[in-house]
Structure 1
Amino acid sequence: MEEFNWLQLLNPEFYILLELGGVKIGLFVVLFIVFAETGLLAGFFLPGDSLLFLAGIYSEGLMNQFSTHNDFLNVTIFALLVSLMGILGNMTSYWFGAKSGGYLYSRQDSFFYKKKYLYQSKEFFEKYGSKAIVFARFLPVVRTFAPVIAGIVEMDKKKFMLYNILGSLLWSFSMIFSGHYLHAFFLNEFGVDLKHYIEYIVIIIVLFTTVPVLWKILKKQAHIEE
């Protein structure tokens, strides 16, 4: 039995290939993580975009127990399941924001909660308005707190649900389909199996999704110091 390493928790592939008693539970773990990112306010340390991209690469194995024997249909069903969990997570977060009011602003920082992320998400929401619910899906950390902010400011429920559904569908389908079909393309055209380059893929996706956010924060900090 392979020895467990805590660093594995930072590797999206660990969750996808997870087994319990010899039974593959990767599909259920992925769905839970998607929900937890927003529904449990745990998005700042859980893998998001990289998880879905890799899940797209491994979608055949993830859907093996529920296969329809049609590749496109399998990937579509998987993306819809992920979308559903994203929608439910946002709804939970919105409800919490609406009920908690200013509680989060007075809550002390902990490993699972950082108040600065709440303020950053609030600024993002104020800048983009209702569309922030869609845009936030593609931004780590911000997607965790954007629905909370929507609940706190009492955003219209129907409008929230519209953007919630739209954002979740766009996020899940774009990430999962990209992973699945890019893997197939590289394998068929160049004989390159992207599964052998998982570490590099994760690094690229993390940089692609986080650098713009970090750049904006650093730029704002520099402006304040001036």
Structure 2
Amino acid sequence: MDAFADAWQMLLRLDLVLEEATAHLGAWTYAMIFLTVFVETGFVVTGILPSGTLLFAAAALAARGSLTLWPLFVGGTAAAFCGDQLNFGWGVLARKRLAGRGLPRGVKAGQLEAARRAFARYGPMAIVLARFVPMLRSVAPLAAGLAGMPGRTFAGYNLCGKLPWTALHVCGGYFLGSIPWFARHFAAVILAAALFPFAIAAIRALVLHFAAKRSAR
């Protein structure tokens, strides 16, 4: 619990952390942000990293002039894309080497089953949708590799998912950061960033629910 509380406190002070990093590291701050985004899904066990929250907060600081918006969008998209490509590669290797020997280390059966259900329902489009669902984000690329999805197909849907995901976080953070009240109360920006993916998932669930009810009539 202490570790969780410390991590939460650090998130609430993320603007100070990023401003200190910018002061000491300069342009290398972007590399730190992009590395976090890449690692979050590049390795399944690092899925707890708050890459979306970090991008959201960095974009809010860009509204203050501390960082620049376009590098965050381009670099964030590239880092997220490459992270999922690496994760997909782990899935391909696991399919070849671990066939019949259980799940790769760090992968929970429930998460993998949820990803498989998503593939069964949405096909390759699940790669796009999974980016917006925190619990599926780090296992969907791995599941695609394990399922034998062609590399070109995965790469195309992977890019289609990263562009809107990055745009929503970067534009959302920049918009809130440009509002004086949020600029003075940065913890509210962090809270909005933390709740952002869950809000998207909830809206998606509601849309699917009403669509199912309408088709059942």
Verify same fold: TM over 0.5. Answer: yes
Q: Which has the higher helix share?
A: 2
The equivalent of 2:124 in structure 1 is: 130
The equivalent of 1:38 in structure 2 is: 41
- How far residue 81 of structure 1 moved from its aligned partner, in angstroms, is 0.2
Whether the 8 Å contact between 1:95 and 1:151 is mirrored in structure 2 is: yes
Which segments of 5 or more consecutive residues in structure 2 lack a partner in the other structure? 207-217
Change (3 A) 1:173 1:108: closer
1:204 aligned to 2:205? no
Q: Which AA in structure 1 matches 2:147?
A: V
1:121 aligned to 2:115? yes
Whether the 8 Å contact between 2:60 and 2:177 is mirrored in structure 1 is: yes
Q: How far apart are the structure 2 equivalents of 1:29 and 1:14?
A: 17
RMSD: 3.4
Q: How far apart are the structure 1 equivalents of 2:167 and 2:11?
A: 18
Q: How far apart are the structure 2 equivalents of 1:91 and 1:63?
A: 31
State the TM-score, normalizing by the size of structure 2: 0.73
The equivalent of 2:158 in structure 1 is: 164
Aligned counterparts, 1:74-85, within 5 A: 74-85=68-79
The equivalent of 1:52 in structure 2 is: 55
- How far residue 210 of structure 1 moved from its aligned partner, in angstroms, is 6.1
5-14 vs 167-176, which deviates more? 5-14
The correspondence for 1:106, drawn from 77, 102, 108, is: 102
Q: How many residues align?
A: 196
The equivalent of 2:167 in structure 1 is: 173
The equivalent of 1:7 in structure 2 is: 5
Whether the 8 Å contact between 2:52 and 2:169 is mirrored in structure 1 is: yes
Q: Name the SS for the 2:45 alignment partner.
A: coil
Q: How far apart are the structure 1 equivalents of 2:129 and 2:189?
A: 26
Q: Name the SS for the 1:46 alignment partner.
A: coil
Q: How far apart are the structure 2 equivalents of 1:84 and 1:139?
A: 19
Q: How far apart are the structure 2 equivalents of 1:30 and 1:42?
A: 18
Q: Identity rate of aligned residues, in percent?
A: 21
- How far residue 138 of structure 1 moved from its aligned partner, in angstroms, is 0.8
Which segments of 5 or more consecutive residues in structure 1 lack a partner in the other structure? 65-73, 216-226
Q: How far apart are the structure 1 equivalents of 2:199 and 2:50?
A: 14
- How far residue 134 of structure 1 moved from its aligned partner, in angstroms, is 0.8
- How far residue 115 of structure 1 moved from its aligned partner, in angstroms, is 2.9
Q: Which AA in structure 1 matches 2:142?
A: V
- How far residue 108 of structure 1 moved from its aligned partner, in angstroms, is 7.8
Q: Which AA in structure 1 matches 2:102?
A: S
- How far residue 181 of structure 1 moved from its aligned partner, in angstroms, is 1.9
The equivalent of 1:154 in structure 2 is: 148
